[in-house]
Structure 1
Amino acid sequence: MIEQIIDFEVAREAMVECQVLPGGVRDTKLCRVLKSIPREAYVPEKYKNLAYMDKNIPLTGGREVLNPLVLSMLLELAEIQSDDLVLDIGCGLGYSTAVLAMLAGTVVALENDPAFVESANTVLQNQNIDNAVVVQGAHAEGQPKQGPFNVIFIGGMVDEVPHALLEQLDEDGRLVCVSTYDNASRGIIISRHGDSFSVNAALDVTAPKMLGFEKEEQFSF
């Protein structure tokens, strides 16, 4: 079988023009960033030719790389500023971290899989991205010593957001993820205002489940 040769630069442009923009994303800076970052560098070797397809890319351990449109919609929802400090939870092989690094001031990425941590840091270094680092740790615990964060991004579906994570948001900080809201999968943004938090279920999207955020099982007697 002859392996198809992909022009990744053309595929990257098509991803934005044929998926992201038609999907409703209008953030011009985000679109420029998506056109500049080689997504194929952040997926397993056997899936590189699928890197720009409108689908999630499988990783090991049941994990997946978010498809380009859903990732873009969630990042646009976060309204990331150039001086923001961002916590990227469940970064996998680092693609979301690379995108965030081009939008924000500093990115701390949290990943529980040590092999993913090593791979992501290597690729980020090879791509000369010097304002982001990937650290190993439990996703649901966050990185309180590195905060408070202007933005916390969770790259998957969660059953619930631990209060300990919300406490790591700075004033007017935003946490963006996918969760079940009113019995439907929605992209939500939780904003902090002092000691109170507001929730906006803004997007009709789905995402792979991010382990570690399961609701505690309730028992009745």
Structure 2
Amino acid sequence: MDYAAARTKMVDNQIRTTDVTDHAILRAFLSVPREDFVPDARRPLAYIDGDVALGGGRYLMEPSPFAKLIQLAQIGPGDVVLDVGSGSGYSSAILSQLAGSVVALESDAQLSTAATETLARLDYLNCVVVQSPLEAGYASEAPYDVILFEGAVDAVPSCFFDQLRSGGRLVAVVGTGNAASARLFRKEGETVSDRFAFNCSIRGLPGFESQPDFVF
């Protein structure tokens, strides 16, 4: 299979057509070999217009919504980014092309090991993979200029805003299914504001489900 040609088609047919116009983002998607971040048996599926199963109930996010979320974050070359739920490391590899450094946070031991090996092999040297519960963030490397969630959450835990630098941005898809929306949170001093960006239905991240209220 000609993966380079498939990568170009992904950018032209899936990403450009959904209002992603930032040239640095487009270049990142053209340069990172998505096929290296999926299980060997699924490499031919790496560039499909959909999620790719990574195993253990986890998925590599469909290219179009992922690109739109990155564009919403407005990542600059000096930014420190926390990539929450980095999975096999593909998202962090893309982010590393835009940011100064990336902390790839992953709770799954097998995925974090695979991500560490693949990112090192491909020389994405400004990424570091840390294995830790997703819902707690990663305070030891805070504050972050950008925090990006690689899956939908029912709500953003307050600890993530504590780990965000003043002037920083947090991008998350909040909600479930077709009722979910991409939201941009901004922190100025101790104040956090947010706004709706676009409707976005993606798979949820484990650990961020709302607990049911107690009912008498």
Report the TM-score range of the alignment, normalised by the length of the smaller protein: over 0.9
Report the more deviating stretch, 108-117 or 209-218.
209-218
Partner of 1:190 in structure 2? 185
Q: TM-score normalized by structure 1?
A: 0.95
Q: TM-score normalized by structure 2?
A: 0.97
Report the more deviating stretch, 95-104 or 193-202.
193-202
- 1:219 Cα shift? 0.8
Over the aligned positions, Cα root-mean-square deviation in angstroms equals 1.1
Q: Runs of 4 or more off by more than 4 Å in structure 1?
A: none
What percentage of residue pairs aligned between the two structures are identical?
A: 38
- 1:188 Cα shift? 1.0
Q: Contact conserved, 2:185 with 2:192, CA < 8 A, in 1?
A: yes
Spell out the pairing of 1:61-80 with structure 2 (5 A cutoff).
Answer: 61-80=56-75
Counterpart residue type for residue 142 of structure 1: G
**CA offsets per residue over residues 42-99 of structure 1, 9 Å max, x none?**
0111111111111000122211110110110000000000000000010110000000
* Whole-Å separation in 2 of the counterparts to 1:210 and 1:134: 17
Partner SS for 1:156:
coil
Partner of 1:3 in structure 2? none
| Unaligned runs of at least 5 residues, structure 2 | none
Partner of 1:145 in structure 2? 140
| Unaligned runs of at least 5 residues, structure 1 | 1-5
Report the more deviating stretch, 172-181 or 195-204.
172-181
* Whole-Å separation in 1 of the counterparts to 2:88 and 2:215: 41
Partner of 1:100 in structure 2? 95
* Whole-Å separation in 1 of the counterparts to 2:54 and 2:132: 18
> Is 1:51 aligned to residue 51 of structure 2?
no
* Whole-Å separation in 1 of the counterparts to 2:209 and 2:187: 22
- 1:216 Cα shift? 2.3
**CA offsets per residue over residues 143-171 of structure 1, 9 Å max, x none?**
11101000001100100110011110000
